[in-house]
Structure 1
Amino acid sequence: MTDIGAPRLSTRQLARRRRAASYRRTWKAFAAKRSGLVGLGILVFFIVVALGAPVLASSRGLDVTLANGPVLGPPSSHYVLGTDENGRSVLTLLIWGSRISLFVGLAATVISMVIGTLLGLVSGYFGGWIGRITFRITEWFLVIPFLPLAIALAAVLGRGLFNIVIVIGVTSWPSTALLIRSQTLSIKERAYIERAEAIGAGRWHQMGRHVLPNVMPMVFANTTLTVAAAVLTETTLSFLGLGDPTHTSWGTMLDSAYQVGAITTGSWWYVIPPGVCVVLVVLAFTMIGQALEEVLNPRLRARQ
């Protein structure tokens, strides 16, 4: 029985309540995945370090002219992780480098998700020559090896922070486009799409109000995996000397360590910390992405 005296909720209020209930169910299912929680904890730690860099370490420690430590000095009470070839604290470089590495990973992923989602929707929903052209473009980018294409674009655009973001963003979207295309093809055949078309809803209305909201869970799950690949790509490009020399990142630290022969001289404190940070961040995003995929993908939920 319903309470006659209870206030009647509006359509928006009902939608908000359903959305909140859906978020709670999703979080409860995600919290049941131990690997996802571990990855989230690691990621939160690095985000706190990146945001709190000005508090944790002075930016003056990045200035080569102000460095007064020993050259490639080992860890000590004053320099916990030793020093680099310029006498700067490796710990300071590591803390400030987290900002650039995470920024590049997140910014490049936004570009990749926007391009991949739009092309995937258009390719999957529209038929005819529009769908064929967008699908062929996606296939063309998939055929070309990712890393050589990124290296070529980075060499053409030049060494710059935003250039690296653009390079990674415009070369890492094809897998997202294929995923969204397959989801769109499935959703397009469902009954509520036919009903929306029968009552006069246009194609763009159907895409924006019916198709896009249903593919967004897969977009979110794929985003975390794409961030991991973007962070790793930034590290690779910086290690190859294509990063921004005016900003310190974990990749530029590894490149500098290689250039001064830190491995051959036994200066492990200059190589291992940035490498471990890259591995942990990539691992964190991968664990979160796999947990989200298990939670949001109905097929994977049915197998459990």
Structure 2
Amino acid sequence: MATTTSEFTRVYAEGTTFPKEEHLSKTIKAESNKKIIFKRFMKHKPAVIGTIVFIIMILMAVFAPLVTNFQPNLITPDFEANPSSTYWLGTDGVGRDVFSRLIYGSRVSLFVGVSSVAIYTVIGTTLGLIAGFFGGKVDNFIMRSTEIIQSFPSFMVILVLVSIIGPGVGTITLVLGLLNWVPLSRIVRGNVLTIKDSEYIQAAISVGYSTPHILFKEILPNVLSNIFVNATFGIASAILTESSLSFLGMGIQPPTASWGNILSQAQSLTVLSSQPWLWIPAGIMILLAVLSINFIGDGLRDAFDGTKN
């Protein structure tokens, strides 16, 4: 027996599943979109190479004890030793193995990048959803707040806060996470403004779904593509910011190793000119990390945009 229009309306209003044909069609379409996104991403060669490089960096950070024979803070009797079969990148001014510090430093730099982005993604996405969906005074308050935050030079604010609270991994991660949510919130808000008047959102409202359900179950899945792209670029930016702070002595403090404070050795003219193995590898690691993440972001953006066309 065919499903009548009134019966279909009742089924939809009660929040139950569509007939099998409709449900199957929806599932096939979702799976098809995932395959299309994956195929488009795999055709983006720089993004694929960037993914491989970034995965290798993560594996090196996770399995650092297997990659190097020295602990990063172990002081050896060989001070400022040249690169050799024992010390692949030589030792620094206090006798620590530079290669070990480079590998273990990747843990800190990647942790700060990923964790700070995770924090600001939650904040920016939530506030963007709320601002775009409710509008009015709520939207005005959130948007004026973002304008106030953007009116200050972000790097200077980060420097001041870190100097007040005290430098460290936790401090830098929290400060970056709490200050960098503004661009993402504005992106999410703009997407919500175009989505909330759609028929399926209006139907969900009329049925009586709760606001959290509408925001996180109905609207959020449709803005995830922009969130993913923003997050990838955000990781690269956070790694650069942490490296800059550590280079200036306001980031990760020795003896804890990070790419930034390893690179800070280049402030010495002697090291800069005659001991390039002490700082060039850290610069290369930062360059590779930032480029690979940016390539991944470009690949994701092209893949998601292609499915919208």
Scaled by the length of structure 2, what TM-score is found? 0.86
Query: In the TM superposition, what is the alpha-carbon distance from 1:23 to its structure 2 partner?
Result: 2.9
**2:72–2:104 Cα contact (<8 Å) kept:** no
Moved more, 228-237 or 180-189: 180-189
**2:264–2:279 Cα contact (<8 Å) kept:** no
Q: What is the CA RMSD across the aligned residues, in angstroms?
A: 2.4
1:151 corresponds to which letter in structure 2?
Answer: L
Give ranges in structure 2 of 5+ residues lacking alignment. 1-18
4+ residue runs over 6 A deviation: 8-17
Aligned to 2:36: 25
Query: In the TM superposition, what is the alpha-carbon distance from 1:189 to its structure 2 partner?
Result: 2.1
Aligned to 1:191: 199
Aligned to 2:232: 224
The CA distance in 1 between the partners of 2:158 and 2:131, in whole Å, is 24
Alignment of 1:1-304 (within 5 A): 19-64=30-75, 67-71=76-80, 73-245=81-253, 246-258=255-267, 261-264=270-273, 266-297=274-305, 302=309
Moved more, 141-150 or 274-283: 141-150
Cα pair distance change 1:57/1:25, threshold 3 Å: same
The CA distance in 1 between the partners of 2:140 and 2:163, in whole Å, is 31
- Secondary structure of residue in 2 paired with 1:62: coil
The CA distance in 2 between the partners of 1:157 and 1:93, in whole Å, is 26
1:92 corresponds to which letter in structure 2?
Answer: S
Moved more, 233-242 or 203-212: 203-212
Cα pair distance change 1:20/1:59, threshold 3 Å: farther
Give ranges in structure 1 of 5+ residues lacking alignment. 1-7
The CA distance in 1 between the partners of 2:27 and 2:214, in whole Å, is 21
Cα pair distance change 1:130/1:249, threshold 3 Å: same
Moved more, 93-102 or 185-194: 185-194
Query: In the TM superposition, what is the alpha-carbon distance from 1:244 to its structure 2 partner?
Result: 2.8
Cα pair distance change 1:127/1:298, threshold 3 Å: farther
Query: In the TM superposition, what is the alpha-carbon distance from 1:111 to its structure 2 partner?
Result: 0.6
Identity %: 32
**Which whole-Å deviations, capped at 9, do the CAs of 1:204-227 have from their partners, x for residues lacking one?**
322122111111121111111000
The CA distance in 1 between the partners of 2:195 and 2:22, in whole Å, is 24
The CA distance in 2 between the partners of 1:281 and 1:57, in whole Å, is 20
**Which whole-Å deviations, capped at 9, do the CAs of 1:214-262 have from their partners, x for residues lacking one?**
1112111111100000111110111111123242110111124425852
**Which whole-Å deviations, capped at 9, do the CAs of 1:78-111 have from their partners, x for residues lacking one?**
2222221112221111111111110111011101
Cα pair distance change 1:200/1:53, threshold 3 Å: same
The CA distance in 2 between the partners of 1:12 and 1:55, in whole Å, is 49
2:150 corresponds to which letter in structure 1?
Answer: L
**Which whole-Å deviations, capped at 9, do the CAs of 1:127-160 have from their partners, x for residues lacking one?**
1211110111111112211111111111111022
Scaled by the length of structure 1, what TM-score is found? 0.88
1:50 corresponds to which letter in structure 2?
Answer: A
The CA distance in 2 between the partners of 1:168 and 1:272, in whole Å, is 26
The CA distance in 1 between the partners of 2:32 and 2:181, in whole Å, is 32
2:272 corresponds to which letter in structure 1?
Answer: I
**2:201–2:218 Cα contact (<8 Å) kept:** yes
- Secondary structure of residue in 2 paired with 1:263: helix
